Structure 1
Amino acid sequence: MRSTTQIAALIVIAGLGAGWHLYGERVGLPTPLGLMGLEATASTGGAARQQAPQEQPVVVAPIRVGRVIERAESVGTVRARESITVTAKVTGMVTAIPFQEGQRVRSGEVLVQLDAAALRAELDQARAQHDDARNQMVRAQRLQPGQTIAEQRMVTLEAVARQAAGRVRQAEARLEELRISAPFDGRVGLRQVSIGALVQPGTVVTTLDDTERVRVEFSVPEVHLARLRVGSEVRAASAAYGDRVFSGHVAVLDTRIDPATRSIRVISEFDNADEALRPGLFLTVILTLASRENALLVPEEAIDPLGERAFVYVVRDGRARRLEVRLGIRLPGEVEIREGVAAAGEQVVVRGIQRLRHDLPVRVTETMTRPAS
């Protein structure tokens, strides 16, 4: 009985298997082998897609040639080209002050006159003594033949004449010291004395500044030392004059570097015909270090940074080539490329960089145009 039941069960199972096979072929359902075939086909298709990646859409821009100027910024202070504090040399009473405060004066022009009455009398006396000594010497030299004078007497007369001449020159020099004059062309400041005041040696009378040309002193970090040149352009601005820009040039470079600040002092000169730049004025200074007329420039978006390194993608033969570059000056919206790219005109990727890798095929969807600078 058990054997008959087992045989019947096997027959039913065999029939169901045959029925599934026929039904599966009729409706196209996959058999176990068919499923294995589909898996193999899917695997083969994936490998094919990896071997032939799809083109990535990108936006590019040409590398262009432009002018870049490398600058260093600092702060500076205006100094007069020539500047002194005018003081008295001798003791005396002020009798005249010919200048007006803020007046422009010429070299040699008298600023303050001290009382010279006593010294003029002394000078007159010295001149009279000199005339007498000279006359005696001349008469001795004109003696008639046979009228002789002792040689020692002649030597004495010559010495007296020289001494008298020396006293005259000394009195004239002291008289000159009573006239306080401008040593150079410039503009006087506020006067510090009044008529009738008794001044002593060193008493401040006023100030004198030559401001038709001024100096602006500032410091530059030592890293720029190799590019500092006498004659380099310097531009300066002050909050006092809004957008006005003053132009000058480097006149002097210090011979030493300050060990505390690791910077070098630079002196520049500016024309100042309208005297807008006053001594002591604070300025923002921009120094031109270098100028390159044929610099290679790319948009900022083209730079792919990686730590301290930088890369760009260049489109060549329909593929994105990843190149390491050395950057230079940054301009508004652009960056100078010092090394790494071939020449102007090449196309660099500016949009779609995130999806790129080296040698990936690309499809240019747009080429950006940029005006030449």
Structure 2
Amino acid sequence: MTQLAVLALVGAAGAGWHFYGDKVGLKPPLEMLGLQAPPAQGGGRGGGPGGPVGVIVQPVRVAQVVDKVESVGTVRAREAVTITSKVAGIVETINFSEGQLVEAGSTLVQLDAAALRAELDQARALMDDARNQLVRARQLQAGQTIAAQRLETLEALARQAEGRVRQADARLEELRVNAPFAGRVGLRQVSPGALIQPGTVITTLDDTARVRVEFSVPEVHLARIRVGSAVTARSIAYGDRRFRGTVAVIDTRIDPATRSVRVISEFDNSDEALRPGLFLTVELVLEERDRALLVAEEAIDPVGDRAFVFVVRDGRARRQEVKLGLRLPGEVEIREGLNAGEPVVVRGIQRLRNDLPVRVVETLTRPTS
């Protein structure tokens, strides 16, 4: 092989090693050919003619990181019902105003009950008469002036009269439409004097002191969702305002169509800003790490599915493999491979190789969170 061919081969091998060989630990091209590299001019081992390479470093910082997933959700009232009548009748009085807060059990609408009240009065009169006859019969029993069969008949009549009274009371109660729980009534759908039928919509009632927000999360996050996890929601209707709640229920089934699980969160809504049906952007906290290690994004040297950084130790750039975690704006979390405070090269990594002498020309700092 001629000297020119050797030089060409060495040049090609050197270019390939510059871009790839150092990353995977190959020997320099001269060593591969069994030749010895000439000594560096300028004294330092591998430092080149200009001496140690100048680099800018930044210490590995410790900060809190929050791993979260974003979704969209819809506000639901904690309790919501459409108020209807059980029986037919004429609306006698309406005891609420639209949008009013009402207490549980309060009467919203009273239907005309004149006929039932008369029926109830008659039933009570019959009951009183039956009871009086029974009392007199029992008083005469001691003298054996009344047969036992007659006494049993009077007792049965008294019970029947009491049953008719209870029945009339129940029917009278059905003419009062009551609030099943405390909440805010919606728009009124009937007017006084209107004849309504069973099932006629009168109004709506929503308990919005606390609301529920339903959203879906991809199934890959299922193992990290917990009841009580923090949830943050926002709406374009309220600008930069953030609403904070917690996970209340996690569905027991995965949706086979979307491969997601439905999550229900609860939010305090004392000012009633969150209205049922409101569309929200939701952020669910999956994990919080108070002492996470962070480095600048430009310090990462990726090779395939692996990642490396250069750490300055004893005046030399040590190539260190790291395991990455959460990515933040301009920073990357390091899960394994570094310790807090270690100086990591953030400028000039293109000129570095493992164990190369370096000179720190600047140390960047960031405020700790």
> TM-score range, shorter-chain basis?
0.7 to 0.9
* Structure 1 SS opposite 2:145: coil
For residue 139 of structure 2, the aligned residue among 137, 142, 155 is: 142
Asked if 1:369 corresponds to 2:365, the answer is yes
RMSD of Structure 2 on Structure 1 (CA): 1.6
Give the C-alpha shift of residue 94 in structure 1: 0.7
Amino acid at match of 2:138: Q
Give the C-alpha shift of residue 240 in structure 1: 0.4
Cα distance in 1 for residues equivalent to 2:166 and 2:142:
35
Amino acid at match of 2:91: V
- 1:344 corresponds to: 340
Give the C-alpha shift of residue 49 in structure 1: 2.1
Q: Which moved more, 1:148-157 or 1:128-137?
A: 148-157
Asked if 1:273 corresponds to 2:270, the answer is yes
Asked if 1:66 corresponds to 2:59, the answer is no
1:63-97 Cα shifts (integer Å, max 9, x gaps): 11111111111111101011000001000011111
For residue 46 of structure 2, the aligned residue among 28, 53, 56 is: 53
Cα distance in 2 for residues equivalent to 1:45 and 1:108:
96
For residue 118 of structure 2, the aligned residue among 117, 121, 138 is: 121
Give the C-alpha shift of residue 189 in structure 1: 0.2
TM-score, with normalisation over the residues of structure 1?
0.85
- 2:162 corresponds to: 165
Asked if 1:316 corresponds to 2:313, the answer is yes
Cα distance in 1 for residues equivalent to 2:300 and 2:146:
105
Amino acid at match of 1:321: R
Amino acid at match of 2:259: R
1:328-368 Cα shifts (integer Å, max 9, x gaps): 11222211101122x10111110001111222221211111
Cα distance in 1 for residues equivalent to 2:130 and 2:141:
20
- 1:16 corresponds to: none
Superposed counterparts of 1:1-373, under 5 Å = 47-49=38-40, 52-54=45-47, 55-143=52-140, 145-341=142-338, 343-373=339-369
- 1:10 corresponds to: none
- 8 A Cα contact 2:45 2:357, kept in partner: no
Cα distance in 1 for residues equivalent to 2:304 and 2:108:
67
Cα distance in 1 for residues equivalent to 2:324 and 2:212:
35
- 8 A Cα contact 2:45 2:356, kept in partner: no
- 2:15 corresponds to: none
* Structure 1 SS opposite 2:83: strand
* Structure 2 SS opposite 1:350: strand
Aligned length: 329
Give the 4+ runs in structure 1 shifted more than 4 A. Answer: none
- 1:13 corresponds to: none
Give the C-alpha shift of residue 118 in structure 1: 0.8
1:16-69 Cα shifts (integer Å, max 9, x gaps): xxxxxxxxxxxxxxxxxxxxxxxxxxxx99611299322222111101111111
* Structure 2 SS opposite 1:49: coil
- 8 A Cα contact 2:316 2:358, kept in partner: yes
Larger radius of gyration: 1
Q: Unpaired runs of 5+ in structure 2? A: 1-34
